[in-house]
């Protein structure tokens, strides 16, 4: 255990994992523990990402909730010099480090919420489906989860049809997909944004896309889209609009330029029977990196839902969301799959 790069308020625990064909593998659990807290949040980051959103931790800790973040294998604090960044052959490879992190957290906390962003949201849903019925997690809070490829239907169909071809490529073959810096430009302090983070760990143009990684993601998409049975309440947050552009423009500061929010809304209800979908006007892909008024709304939505889904989780915050049918929530109402 040692002090984290975010400062003395945090410490880190290295989780050793079985080696793979590149050598030693580790994951890193970042911790900010509230003494005596019964509840904890575990944050799972996305692709080309790591945990740096200290204001998210601040928000939970100020309400008496312990905060943990897991830098998954081959990302951020867990990336070793010889490793291929972000590479896995199956998203289930992440399950052992999530299992280990959850065991550490549950040793001192009674309730756990998993807060997953983008690919972390996809992984969180699949993990929660695997452990359903065991009481390990009490709620999922998913921030712009990666539930489908943001490409035209024809391109997606071609990609899926070629999965046999991808399987015959070297696993780490880099696919010739276009690399855009638009999202990075919109959020990083050195460009047009307000956030300072490590550009080696989260480059503006993202990581290369490898054949085996893309195949793994598509298998995960198909598994989720076919229907999961996650048995805890799930909140899915996303922006109210998406935009695909090649170059930076002012409007990218208030839209999701990474994923198609219609895909998120469509497939969110496949996660389980108790799903709430909230669209946040003006949100960027990582909603907690949106402009200050927008992220305040994001935090308010999270708090209100958590206080309702887990009574007593955030004292004084409980307010029943609007429930019923498959209506969508945008600025006050919600889409639910059952209740």
* Per-position pLDDT tens, the chain of length 339: 688 999 999 999 999 999 999 999 999 999 999 999 999 999 999 999 999 999 999 999 999 999 999 999 999 999 999 999 999 999 999 999 999 999 999 999 999 999 999 999 999 999 999 999 999 999 999 999 999 999 765 556 656 666 666 666 788 889 887 678 999 999 999 999 999 999 999 999 999 999 899 989 999 999 999 999 999 999 999 999 999 998 999 999 999 999 999 999 999 999 999 999 999 999 999 999 999 999 999 999 999 999 999 987 665 454 544 433 334 555 543 454 443
Round to the nearest angstrom and report the end-to-end CA distance of the chain: 41
Read off the CATH number of the domain in which 330 is found.
3.40.50.1820
The DSSP element (H or E) to which 60 belongs, if any, is helix 54-61
DSSP letters of 141-201?
Answer: EEES---S--S-HHHHHHHHHTHHHHHHS-TTPBP------HHHHHHBTTTTSSB---TTT
- Residue written as token pair 């208030």: 254
Domain boundaries, position 88: 2-337
Tokens of 284: 């960027």
Tokens of 308: 């309702």
pLDDT value of residue 246? 87
User: What's the pTM?
Assistant: 0.92
Report the number of distinct structural domains present in the chain: 1
pLDDT value of residue 8? 94
Nearest of 302, 240, 242, 260 to residue 115 by alpha carbon:
302
Taking the C-alpha atoms of residue 226 and residue 246, their distance in angstroms, rounded to an integer, is 32
pLDDT value of residue 312? 73
pLDDT value of residue 326? 39
pLDDT value of residue 333? 38
């Amino acid at each position: 255990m040692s002090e984290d790069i975010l400062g003395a308020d945090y410490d880190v625990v290295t989780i050793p994992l079985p080696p793979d064909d590149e050598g030693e593998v580790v994951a890193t659990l970042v911790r900010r523990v509230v003494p005596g807290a019964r509840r904890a949040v575990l944050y799972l980051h996305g692709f080309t990402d790591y945990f740096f959103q200290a204001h998210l931790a601040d928000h939970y800790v100020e309400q008496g909730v312990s905060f943990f973040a897991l830098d998954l294998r081959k990302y951020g604090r867990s990336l070793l010099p010889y490793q291929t960044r972000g590479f896995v052959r199956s998203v289930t490879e992440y399950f052992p480090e999530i299992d280990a992190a959850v065991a550490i957290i549950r040793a001192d906390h009674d309730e756990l919420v998993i807060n997953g962003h983008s690919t972390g949201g996809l992984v969180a849903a699949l993990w929660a489906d695997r452990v359903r019925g065991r009481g390990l997690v009490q709620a999922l809070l998913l921030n712009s989860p990666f539930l489908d490829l943001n490409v035209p239907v024809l391109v997606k169909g071609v990609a899926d049809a070629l999965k046999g071809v991808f399987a015959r490529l070297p696993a780490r073959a880099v696919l010739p997909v276009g690399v855009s810096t638009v999202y990075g430009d919109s959020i990083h302090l050195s460009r047009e944004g307000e956030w300072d983070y490590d550009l080696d760990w989260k480059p503006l143009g993202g990581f290369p896309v490898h054949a085996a990684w893309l195949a793994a993601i598509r298998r995960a998409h198909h598994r989720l889209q076919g229907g999961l049975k996650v048995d805890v309440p799930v909140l899915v947050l996303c922006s109210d609009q998406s935009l695909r552009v090649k170059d930076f423009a002012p409007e990218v500061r208030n839209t999701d330029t990474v994923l198609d929010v219609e895909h998120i809304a469509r497939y969110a209800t496949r996660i389980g029977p108790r799903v709430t979908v909230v669209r946040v006007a003006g949100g960027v892909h990582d909603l907690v990196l949106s402009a200050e008024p927008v992220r305040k709304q994001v935090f308010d939505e999270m708090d209100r839902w958590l206080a309702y889904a887990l009574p007593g989780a955030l004292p004084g915050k409980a307010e029943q969301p609007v429930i019923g049918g498959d209506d969508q929530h945008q600025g006050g109402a919600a889409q639910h799959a059952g209740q």
